[in-house]
Amino acid sequence: MSETKYTGDHEWVRVEGEAATVGITNYAQEQLGDVVFVDLPEAGATLEQGAEAATVESVKAASEVYAAVSGEVIEINEALTDEPGLVNSAPEGDGWFFKLKLGDPAELGELMDAAAYKDYCAGLD
Amino acid sequence: MTDPVATVTQERAEALPTPLLALHRELGGKLVDFAGYLLPVQYPAGIMAEHKLCRDSAALFDVSHMGQVELTGEDADIALERLVPGELRKLGVGRQRYGFFTNEAGGILDDLIVARLPDRLFIVVNAACKTADIAYLRANLPGISVTELTDRALIALQGPQAVQALTRHAPAAAGLSFLSIAEMDLAGVPALISRSGYSGEDGFEISLPADRAEAVTRELLAEPEVAPAGLGARDSLRLEAGLCLYGHDLTPETTPVEAGLTWAIGKRRRAEGGFPGAEMIQRQLAEGPPRRRVGLRPEGRAPVREGARLSDGEGQFAGVVTSGGFGPTVGGPVAMGYVTTALAAPGNKLFAEVRGKQLPVTVAGLPFVQQRYAK
């Protein structure tokens, strides 16, 4: 069974087998507003946990997205090229950013679970 | 993810409220510190929807952070001409004109709108500059009384249906032509209304007593054509309209000639001079400026934002982007910047550096969206 984990920078990561899918949370897309462009990493790139991995551009501003965990990029979400608004409409579904081959499963332990993330966001408002 | 709101605001210890702050909160505005004032960057509808509403219907903006200043005294227009290179003596009663303060190097200290009312001049200046502007006016206009109107709100109702919504409450506003201004009753409140704005659409700017502003704004928002819009839509609208934003497209280092604003100087003033920086401006008018403000259309979908370096096909420096983002009406990225005059012709291909990549951009004419001011 997969479990979704969350970072304090509002990325989510869902691990299925060796693959970790990364995106930004509903809270993050609400903060961003209308997403108009997503700059994704290249497949094959190796990312360190916390490194800049992607850039998401709303009408107003550009924001960096960080790698929630370390690993090699094995797939990017090509659908975002033509339809960046998927990040707004389905942030934790079809609006995912990229998939990593998980480098160090222990890193997942540093992230929040859904309940902890919910509390975390409540504390920010 | 980095905080997108933090990237568009400058932190200050205490942001000031405008007279409409409580209403912004009630309407769900996402509040940010903008030039020292707490203002909504957007409402729940979002920047895209607010932008489109302004192009199709009517959007209401709070611009109370801007400075409203009255000049009274004999020959205030002649005095102001010493600081502003515009033709102000021939400005008719009930008319307003765009202008700017220049420095000795011909750079722009701030831009402003000057209006002539029967007994005074009324000017609107940028929030971030207003303290300096007022001190500058007081120091340089002896005998002229300079009064900042701190007890007034300023709202802008912009869009093709603004006129029908507004005239239900202020019938006299129908008689205003573009850049005309008059005092009139608006929903029973004495208001100063001009047919102007910064969206590229027909519309109005409305100065109101602060203590009546919320009630009047509520009446306007109750009209079916009208919905509130925030700073985000204001910025994307003015960028599509090819209008300059002070502190970005205009600075003390940019001259009106470089900025393409010589239309605001006036024939007599060009010939006579008599304003700060006249020598530099006259020289640039005669010889051409070293760089020019241009529109830029990035290829692809990636926005090219302020600060991006521009280069030519050989990698040589060509200029800098001063405003850039996504144009909701254009449906793609749009930008403005300053480009070396030799490279500034529309159609010229340049490259913008974005996150280490060289993105192709094409020099384009401005505006990106046709301005639709009332005749």
pLDDT digits (tens, 9 = 90+) for A15-62: 998 899 999 999 999 989 999 999 999 999 999 999 999 999 999 889
Q: How far apart are CA A77 and CA A55, in angstroms?
A: 13
Out of A32, A39, A63, closest to residue B302 by CB? A39
- The rounded mean pLDDT for chain B is 96
CB-based contact B1 A61, cutoff 8 Å: no
Looking at chain A from residue 64 to 93, which residues have their Cβ under 8 Å from any Cβ of chain B?
Answer: 64-66, 81, 84
B1 at A interface, C-beta within 8 A: yes
Out of B1, B8, B51, closest to residue A9 by CB? B1
Report the half-sphere exposure of A57 (CA within 13 A, side-chain side): 22
CA distance A40 to chain B (A): 11
Q: What is the ipTM of this complex?
A: 0.88
Q: Are strands B226-228 and B58-62 parallel, antiparallel or unpaired?
A: parallel
Q: What is the pLDDT of residue B21?
A: 98
Q: What is the pLDDT of residue B347?
A: 98
CB-based contact B1 A66, cutoff 8 Å: yes
Low-confidence ranges of chain B (pLDDT < 70): 2-13
Q: What is the pLDDT of residue B11?
A: 45
CB-based contact A63 B3, cutoff 8 Å: yes
- The rounded mean pLDDT for chain A is 94
CA distance B178 to chain A (A): 29
Of B9, B39, B7, B46, the residue nearest B21 (C-alpha): B39
Summarised one tens digit per residue, pLDDT across range A88-103 is 999 999 999 999 999 9
Q: What is the pLDDT of residue B13?
A: 55
Q: What is the pLDDT of residue B4?
A: 55
CB-based contact B1 A24, cutoff 8 Å: yes
Q: How far apart are CA B3 and CA B9, in angstroms?
A: 11
Q: How far apart are CA B375 and CA B27, in angstroms?
A: 33
Q: What is the pLDDT of residue A88?
A: 97
Q: What is the pTM (predicted TM-score) of this model?
A: 0.94
Out of B1, B42, B355, closest to residue A65 by CB? B1
A59 at B interface, C-beta within 8 A: yes
- In chain A, residues with a C-beta closer than 8 Å to the C-beta of B28 are none
CB-based contact A59 B8, cutoff 8 Å: no
Of B247, B148, B159, B139, the residue nearest B200 (C-alpha): B159
- In chain B, residues with a C-beta closer than 8 Å to the C-beta of A9 are 1-2
Looking at chain B from residue 34 to 73, which residues have their Cβ under 8 Å from any Cβ of chain A?
Answer: 41-42, 46-48, 51
